[in-house]
Structure 1
């Protein structure tokens, strides 16, 4: 993936946090956004125990469905943050090959949903009280993929913990 993206640089968001980011380069951002939103919507629609708490809710589920069908805009009260893991392996697990089904939860005044696929971490925020649009892959003026250490990602730590428990169970 790194060979597809453009120049690497530091970005500062509206609240002063800094992160390393890439210009998407050869990556088609519109396709990446639609792909990620389709995964979130499918997890919402299937309502399977493996996708715990993946419901987007009635309002956002419908807005995302209409967006995917080309019948509506990207939801106004949504932010899609997309991270590229910089460390390929964490505790022996290859993040380039990792997949984690979408899960969701509530954080403060908004809901978030997230999943991992092949070294990309997709994080969807939904609600009325969201951070500025600066790093949203759809809304931002300058489209960026944020470089993030997988070893410090909450979802990776959770995923590795689940894997370790399964291994111990045999």
Structure 2
């Protein structure tokens, strides 16, 4: 019987599923899917469609930049919960993100609306999504929360460490995703729409730091930056731009995101290379 069970699990792993406890709904003994850290649809946004022999995106690693189809996946969620994440967040966000063709549905929606805050010569605009019914702010909030939460439940980093620490709020995030609780009061989410003539496809999973009693993380996908602050001491200047609790449910659109995203990507690459050198030196 033990042999049959082990053989079944090995077979299911090969087929992209295994039996275990779903980390979202907490049901045990269910079939788990190979859940993505960043949704599979994000990887499709990154693939080149111009006919190159290798359409795969570039990934930053401690060894440099590598072009690969490898995706971060692990057995974490049951099929029902996978579908929950898709229907309540991923489907809308990815359909309105910047596509490989250059189409950018959310940018088109915002271009037809009047920004609530805008100064001539200022590269940053603020839109109140409460006044723009075409913007699904619930999907934006849910999508971002799901990615940050996924980062808190598994050791996605190269060294096996967990990239996102939500501390005592992790269970609140899980229950928010299940529809049992509202979005945590001690959390604030910014949604930044990347703007400009040349919006890069630069994408990376959540990263950040903790300081002054506040945990701050961000990740980016084509067309978007999502920034999460967690803690009881979040200053008002951060809370006022929260897409859920800020006045008018704001989103920010700006051209200045690209330079600092590229600078952060270079920093990540340098840090990865340095960490690798340190590990080699310690052998």
Identify whether the pair has TM-score above 0.5, normalized to the shorter chain: yes
Aligned to 1:86: 195
Task: Give the structure with the higher percent strand.
Answer: 1
Distance 2:191 2:172 in 1: 20
Where in structure 2 are the equivalents of 1:133-152 lying within 5 Å?
133-148=239-254, 149-152=256-259
Where in structure 2 are the equivalents of 1:5-24 lying within 5 Å?
5=110, 6-10=113-117, 19-24=124-129
In the alignment, structure 1 residue 158 sits paired with structure 2 residue 158: no
Matched-pair contact (CA < 8 Å) for 2:151–2:163: no
SS of structure 1 residue aligned to 2:117: strand
Aligned to 1:35: 143
Distance 1:136 1:31 in 2: 14
Matched-pair contact (CA < 8 Å) for 2:216–2:229: yes
Aligned to 1:72: 181
Matched-pair contact (CA < 8 Å) for 2:128–2:247: no
Aligned to 1:99: 203
In the alignment, structure 1 residue 108 sits paired with structure 2 residue 219: no
Distance 1:76 1:39 in 2: 18
Moved over 6 A (4+): none
Summarize the Cα distance change of 1:165–1:140 in structure 2 as closer, same or farther, 3 Å threshold: closer
Distance 1:48 1:21 in 2: 34
The number of equivalent residue pairs is 154
SS of structure 1 residue aligned to 2:163: coil
Q: Give the unaligned 5+ runs of structure 1.
A: 12-18
Distance 1:164 1:62 in 2: 34
Aligned to 1:14: none
Give 1 or 2 for the bigger CA radius of gyration.
2
- Displacement of 1:45 in angstroms is 1.2
TM-score (norm. length: structure 1)? 0.78
Matched-pair contact (CA < 8 Å) for 2:240–2:246: yes
Structure of higher RCO (CA pairs closer than 8 Å, 6+ residues apart): 1
Distance 1:99 1:52 in 2: 19
- Deviations along 1:49-90, one digit per CA (max 9) or x if unpaired, are 158631212x1111100111011111011000111122353x
Task: Give the structure with the higher percent helix.
Answer: 2
Distance 1:116 1:151 in 2: 11
Q: Give the unaligned 5+ runs of structure 2.
A: 1-105, 119-123, 273-283
Match of 2:230 among 126, 132, 138: 126
